[in-house]
Chains A and B, each alone.
Chain A
């Protein structure tokens, strides 16, 4: 089954404790992206990657890191989480067709609480 998976689905942690949220897709998609969803703000893009070893900042990258060492994986790293990073996080992937952009497929979401 074609899908985007995220782990963990739920996480409660404390301020300053490094964490990684994994994202994996099995569709051989070039493009992957991370979003956070907050009430009243919709979804905001954190980072995106056009292919292996190619990443760039979205609209709200502060406090986050990403890496793209393999095409299927795009982990989101919070080196020193803070309470304002409490949010619902979504990973997404899509085919990158160049001029023809396709829809993104989203993972199920990771609900993160930073105490």
Chain B
């Protein structure tokens, strides 16, 4: 079975602080895909990043960065110099290479206060 754990239910920070959202996954597959999605208060789901299991290179996109470590089965997401507009629920998700299902974590509610 596959599983995604986002242990942080809620995080509250002050604007300009750095914040890391944790994601730990479980799968027996050697080929799999990891995703992060953002759900702002308006409710839509916005794709942020996809990472394949065979590509452990970390990625930076502006203030966002992702740290993929297969050794610890983690795919953590860091926001540098957080802003109020970053306030949202963030979901980590896993798709095994051997089937078509996408499993989401329960999400982390990030609140950035001015």
Q: For the complex, what is the distance from the CA of A109 to the CA of B7, rounded to whole Å?
A: 25
Interface set of A (CB-CB < 8 Å, partner B): 31, 33, 35, 40-45, 48, 50, 56, 58-59, 88, 90, 92, 99, 101-106, 108-109
Q: Which residue of B lies closest to A88 (CB)?
A: B43
Interface set of B (CB-CB < 8 Å, partner A): 6, 31, 33, 35, 37, 43-45, 47, 50, 91, 93, 95, 97, 100-107
Q: Which residues of A contact B31 (CB under 8 A)?
A: 99
Using known A-B contacts A42-B91, A42-B107, determine if residue A104 contacts B102 with beta carbons closer than 8 Å: yes
Q: For the complex, what is the distance from the CA of A106 to the CA of B104, rounded to whole Å?
A: 14
Q: Give me the 7 closest cross-chain CB pairs, A-B, nearest first.
A: A42-B106, A106-B45, A43-B104, A103-B47, A42-B104, A42-B107, A101-B33
Q: Which residues of A contact B33 (CB under 8 A)?
A: 101
| 10 additional A-B residue pairs with CB within 8 Å, beyond A40-B106, A109-B43 | A42-B6, A42-B104, A42-B107, A43-B93, A48-B100, A88-B43, A103-B35, A103-B50, A106-B45, A109-B44
